A and B are shown apart, each in its own frame.
Chain A
Amino acid sequence: MDLKALKAQESKRKISKGYMWALFCAVFWGIWYLPGTVVWVLNPFDEMYGEIAGASGDAVSLVVTAVLITAFNALTVMLALMLWNGVLGKFGELGRTLKEFHPCSKWFFLASIFGGPVAILGSFMAMGFIGGAFAAVAALLYPVIGSVLAYYWYGEKISKRAATGIIIIILGGITIFGGGVITELAAGGVPWIGYLGGLMAAAGWGIEGAIAGKGLDISEPDVGLTLRFLGENIIWWIIIVPILAIVGYPMYSFAFQAFEPLTLLVLIFAGITFGFCYVCWYKSFPLIGVGRGQGIGNLYGLCAIIFIFLFFGDVPAWTILVGGTLCVIGSFVMFTEETAALETLRGE
């Protein structure tokens, strides 16, 4: 076969594999909102919520319960990623990368602060108080935060096309948040803490992406992501959960009750879907470019709505549908620039 034909064949192979990984990411990410929503009604979290709400009020109870759920999510993601690294034979590389604190691990641990206690906790808060579909589409605003940060931190240019995409996404965001708030204002109380959770998800993931990129580009993503979740587990299990326990919340007694078959199954399901959506996301980048990878990955918003409809029979409010569609369109506009143009933007 001649050079030209082989080149075409190679690029075709890369593109189809890249789109496959990106689609897997969107599906896994979308599915994650199922266990994320279900876990709230399972014991011990259901009981925990009730017990703390009785003593400290709904808002505090929601956040404290979300902390324990997020901590378990981090644990099961870590298990899934360790298994993945074991299968790939990457434990050696894991150790080598962990030791590189200055160029690598530092960034992963910093990223885990924004990914865990901000983004994932926020997502669980939004799922618990408003619903999975809202939590999913609210987080679609993350590319806006990410590119604004990259502009201020690394002086990365925001092209005209990206700016157009950002405006469309913001319009989508206004529809999702504004629409929801107006409906609920009319109905009485607004669950502000759920909306705060939605904003935390978007801001946290935007910041996490901007920081994690600094360590991930010179390490292997399978390994880097595992370290990022190692950081998150340290934050939850060594810092926040013990602090909450010392303050007087019954963290450990409920944590031990989580070892029930059904609860464990749902948590493991959450860990597998969430862990692999990250892995797939990063696998797609070298094959189709970061832009297209993120653009396709963002279809998770629609996947989540579809899965929630299929499994729970919930049809989301029209504001979520319209806003979510705007966000997905916006992210496509933003990310489908020529990869070559993106590379030179970054390299110079």
Chain B
Amino acid sequence: MGKNRPIKFRILELYLDGEEHWNYEIVPKIQEEYGMKDNFHRDSINFDILELASGGMLKDVEQKVDEEGIYKKGFLLHKYVITDFGRVRGSDACIRYM
């Protein structure tokens, strides 16, 4: 799929494997793929994940404190998993690649 599809599609696609992923794993991956290296875009991608979660497509399953500064030192890290609704919306949107 890569960088020619909207960012939220790509995020959903990454979660469609059904595994739980931390936001600090997903965000840098998207930044890398779309060539969006700065902190502003990092937060913007993280906000996309927040929106997907508030839309009921991802579920926040675990949180931990970023002690070492792997993502944003002193802030919370979140781990998400795709929901049934997210699976339906995600596979609908990504259908031609499945």
Contacts and interface: CB of A to CB of B under 8 A. Distances in A.
B41 interface: yes
Contacts of A3: 63-65, 76
Interface residues of A, number: 33
B4 A96 contact: yes
Given A7-B63, A286-B51, A218 B93 contact: yes
A219 interface: yes
Contacts of A6: 65, 75-76
A314 to B, nearest CB: 39
A223 B84 CA distance: 26
Tell me the interface secondary structure of chain A in the complex. Answer: helix
A289 B54 contact: yes
Contacts of A1: 65, 74
Contacts of A88: 44
B47 A218 contact: no
Interface stretch (A97-105, A119-127, A228-236): A97-105
A220 interface: yes
Interface string B24-35: 000000000010
5 contacts: A6-B75, A96-B7, A218-B52, A220-B48, A348-B85
Interface of B: 4-9, 12, 34, 36, 40-41, 44, 47-48, 50-57, 63-65, 74-76, 83-85, 89-90, 92-93
Sort A-B residue pairs by CB-CB distance and give the 9 closest, nearest first.
Answer: A286-B54, A347-B85, A103-B93, A217-B55, A347-B56, A286-B51, A343-B56, A286-B50, A97-B6
